[in-house]
Amino acid sequence: MSDLSIGNIFSILFGALISWITIWIRESLSSKSQVKLERLKLYDSEVFKACNDLYRFVRLARSYWEPGVAREAYIRLVKGNSFKRAIENILFYSPEIQNDQETL
């Protein structure tokens, strides 16, 4: 034990402290990256659901409403649940689609 001087003890403690700080910083950055990745996955999932709702509405609209058919049938379709879901997700769509939905 006489081989260990005060300077050696401080060097060992300082090295351990630096190692601990390095590990803590790396884990912290990794954790933040993982949270960002999960947020991106959630956002992509929401975008997919929004586009799926819009696709369902367009498919439903094409099957129930032809351009020559009375406008009342189209208005009934728009008041339906599928259009409401498409409007709720308007922020996920491109500007052209947003403009088209607003004119409806």
Mean pLDDT over the full length of the chain = 77
Nearest to 73 by CA among 90, 85, 61, 84: 61
The domain limits of the chain are: 6-103
The residues, ordered by sequence, that sit 6+ positions from 33 with a Cβ below 8 Å of its Cβ are none
Q: What is the pTM of this model?
A: 0.50
Q: What does the block give as tokens for 24?
A: 């803590």
Q: What percent of the chain clears pLDDT 90, i.e. is strictly above it?
A: 2
In whole angstroms, give the CA distance from residue 92 to residue 103. 17
pLDDT in tens, 18-39: 989 999 988 888 888 888 888 8
pLDDT in tens, 71-95: 676 677 667 666 777 777 777 777 7
H/E run at residue 81? helix 81-88
